[in-house]
Amino acid sequence: MPKIKTHKGAKARFHITGSGKIMRVKIGKSHLRRKKPKRVKRLYDETIPLHPTARQRIRRLLPGI
């Protein structure tokens, strides 16, 4: 039986906490932020937990983590 490979795109976008939660970064963080208010820009800095319905799908992409 071959080893299951980690999906490198998922590895870059998600990380798993010590308690087992999968955290993600909000979309829209990379560009066009200059014209947004400071309050909105601050919201992009935090990582948020992944929605429970997507958790199983992302777990399959990250087998060794």
Identify which of 13, 12, 31, 24 has the alpha carbon closest to the alpha carbon of residue 52. 24
Q: Domain holding 46: CATH number?
A: 4.10.410
- pLDDT tens-digit profile of 20-37? 899 999 888 888 888 989
Residues sharing a CB contact under 8 Å with residue 49, sequence separation 6 or more, in sequence order: 21, 22, 23, 24
* Within-domain flag for 62: no
| Domain of residue 28, residue span | 8-56
- pLDDT tens-digit profile of 35-60? 989 998 888 888 999 999 999 999 99
* Within-domain flag for 2: no
